[in-house]
């Protein structure tokens, strides 16, 4: 599966991993899966690694994702999302998502990175980074 997740309740983190080509239905299905996971809780921060993806969502897909986030704002709570990318196009699209989340008042604070250590330091400045 190109998009997977795991929740680390001790660290209070949701880890999202994307590999290869990811479709919008896969994004939405995985989003709903972690939202309904018994280990998920409001305010859970997330580390999203898209460094091995081969696709990027369209602007319409980003807006749809933000609509789903808005609809589930109470369940999500205030949280931070660090997105790791390796390709300029993925970085650019993720930055558009970051900007839209800020402008549209999403309950998540998004920041995009090329560097894993910097992403982790922003998300958890007092904790050592996990193994990739």
Instruction: Assign residue 20 a region (left: φ > 0; alpha: ψ between -120 and 50; beta: otherwise).
Output: left
pTM: 0.93
Inter-axis angle of helices 88-103 and 59-71, to 10 degrees? 40
Contact residues for 43 (Cβ-Cβ < 8 A; gap 6+): 12, 77, 78, 79
List the structure tokens of 34. Answer: 């972690």
Fold of 3-123: Transcription Regulator spoIIAA (3.30.750)
* pLDDT tens figures, 5-58: 999 988 889 999 999 999 999 999 999 999 999 999 999 999 999 999 999 999
Please give the mean pLDDT across all residues of the chain.
Answer: 93
Helix H segments across 36-87? Answer: 59-71, 73-76
**How confident is residue 104, by pLDDT bands cut at 50, 70 and 90?**
confident
Rounded Cα distance between 132 and 129, Å, is: 9
For residue 124, the 8-state DSSP code is -
* pLDDT tens figures, 46-89: 999 999 999 999 999 999 999 999 999 999 999 999 999 999 99
Strands (E), the chain: 3-8, 13-20, 45-53, 79-84, 108-113
């Amino acid at each position: 599966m190109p998009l997977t997740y795991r929740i680390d309740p001790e660290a209070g983190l949701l880890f999202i991993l994307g590999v290869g080509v990811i479709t919008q239905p896969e994004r939405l299905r995985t989003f709903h899966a972690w939202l309904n996971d018994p280990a998920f809780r409001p305010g859970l921060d997330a580390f999203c690694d898209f460094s091995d993806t081969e696709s990027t969502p369209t602007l319409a897909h980003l807006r749809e994702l933000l609509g789903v986030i808005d609809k589930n704002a109470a369940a999500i709570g205030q949280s931070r999302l660090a997105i790791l990318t390796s390709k300029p196009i993925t970085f650019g699209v993720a930055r558009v998502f970051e900007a839209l989340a800020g402008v549209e008042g999403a309950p998540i604070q998004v920041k995009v990175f090329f560097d894993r250590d910097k992403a982790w330091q922003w998300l958890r400045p007092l904790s050592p980074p996990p193994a990739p």
